[in-house]
Amino acid sequence: MRRIELLAKLTPDSAQALWYNLDAGYDAAGDAPATTLDAAEVRHLSAAALQVLLVAKARFAKDGGVLHLTNPSEEFLQALHTMGATTLVEEGVA
């Protein structure tokens, strides 16, 4: 399982880098992809970064993979709540 530590400030630019990072280790034709995202240091979550996380979640699920979110910071959880995306944590991407 791959492990990615999310940056403290997930801006649109870092969201693009995160997507490339997730995509680089993704092989839908191989074994079901599995990645853990550590959100302990996240202090700011942009809408673009949230979009990347939601699309990645759907992509992994479609291919039978696992995208697991661990250690969500309070700021990360508050941003999810504010943007109406708490299911990202509640559905096991938690």
pLDDT band at 71 (very low <50, low <70, confident <90, very high): very high
pLDDT score at 26:
72
Q: Is the pTM of this model over 0.85?
A: yes
Letter string b/e over residues 48-70, b meaning 16 or more CB atoms within 10 A of that residue's CB: bbbebbeebbebbeeeebebbbe
Q: Which domains does the chain have, with CATH numbers?
A: 2-90 (3.30.750.24)
CA dihedral (92, 49, 47, 75) in degrees, to 10, reads 60
The predicted-structure confidence for 42-56, as pLDDT tens digits, reads as follows 999 999 999 999 999
